[in-house]
Amino acid sequence: MLTDRQRAIVKSTVPLLETGGEALTTHFYQLMLSESDEVQPLFNSVHQQTGAQPRALARSVLMYAKHIDDLSGLGDLPAQIIHKHVSLQVQPEHYPIVGGFLLRAIREVLGAEIATDEVIEAWAAAYGQLADILIGAEQATYEANAQAPGGWKGVRRFVVAAKQAETPEITSFTLQPEDGGAVLAYQPGQFIGLRVVVDGKEQRRNYSLSQVADGRSLRISVKREAQGVVSNHLHHQVQVGDVLDVFPPAGHFTLDDSAKPLVLMAAGVGITPLMAMLQEGLKMGRAVTFIHCARSPELQAFRGDLLALAAQHPQLQLRFGYEQAAGAAPADGVDVAQGLPDAELLTRWLPAERDVQAYYLGPVGFMRLAKQVLHRAGVPDAQARCEFFGPAQTLAA
């Protein structure tokens, strides 16, 4: 248990983390991923190359140090971490490995004069406290998933029942259990973890579920990234009839059960989990404003599906924005704009009723814009939610 002295020491390191936290976490990942084969599959190599993972961890460590006296100040951060860990099947035995490399990085980056034995002991105690919290929550989630109807624990083998190109960049995979059993009723907005072996090396990745739960299958829609090891493997190598190792659904970015109107805002592949939310919202009879921005109609995933849903459900209003609108066929009831989305356009597209539940996803720049637009338009902050692809980040400019 952390002592008052150890809490004070951890808080005293906040200025160092504010100025040098990313250097520390970059060194931490270099050490750990070069020396520990056991935890390598849990980390996305592209996020390492871009610096996204070290930045996200630096922010998380800083937030933890700042709120060491009252962890409620961390807000949704622990839930984000827990659900990401669950989707990748992080286990209790991984924590000592990660902790050891973190403490080593603190000593090596800050130096022995600053990172004294007392400082290292304080951070070891702080890390142990956080690990206990996360392990407890993760184990509870694993057990709940295992006990749910159609649920499971750890790996379950799923057969690729269908593979469909949504755009030249995005492909959907429909997965059905190899054992022929039921599939648990996941929540719209959640994601699954996949375990694949590429070139003899295990990789684990998260992918959002792009259709509402049906009790029989899962569908993911994967964007092929230029440097994406797993996304390219799925697009080019995985075919109908192949078997994939799947971890149970996770994620706290989920559709509420309110009757309030829905505003769903996405850019690019951010549309993926919002498709499941849209389908569920329409089943509930909710009014929905669906805003999707893409580079062009050709690169807009699910355009045909959205138009078909709008034809069936008059309470669905579609708003499409294209950087290049050439080739966009006119459609009844769809407002189409050309150019990059801006605050004026997104504000105009919002419904007159501002007591709504809003969900938004996409590149960080788009989400910053959406957050500002919703706030300035008067949508209560507590009723506007987003989630990040990849490591946890912040929308602060």
The catalytic residues are 95, 138
Give the SS3 label for residue 11: helix
Question: Which residue carries 């230029």 as its tokens?
Answer: 226
Whether the CB-CB separation of 350 and 373 falls below 8 Å is answered with yes
Q: Distance between CA 228 and CA 231 in Å, rounded?
A: 5
Length of the chain: 397
Distance between first and last Cα of the chain: 36
Contacts of 332 by beta carbon, 8 Å cutoff, 6+ apart: none
Q: Distance between CA 294 and CA 301 in Å, rounded?
A: 9
Q: Which of 102, 28, 133, 80 is nearest to 392 (CA)?
A: 80
Record the tokens describing residue 389, joined without a space: 């692809």
Contacts of 57 by beta carbon, 8 Å cutoff, 6+ apart: 25, 28, 29, 391
Question: Which residue carries 């078997």 as its tokens?
Answer: 243
Q: Phi and psi for 86 in degrees, rounded to 5?
A: -65, -40
- Amino acid identity at 237: Q
Q: Which of 88, 91, 62, 89 is nearest to 77 (CA)?
A: 62
Q: Are strands 262-267 and 243-250 parallel, antiparallel or unpaired?
A: unpaired
Exposure b/e, 213-229, CB count within 10 A at least 16 = b: beeebbbbbbbbeeebb
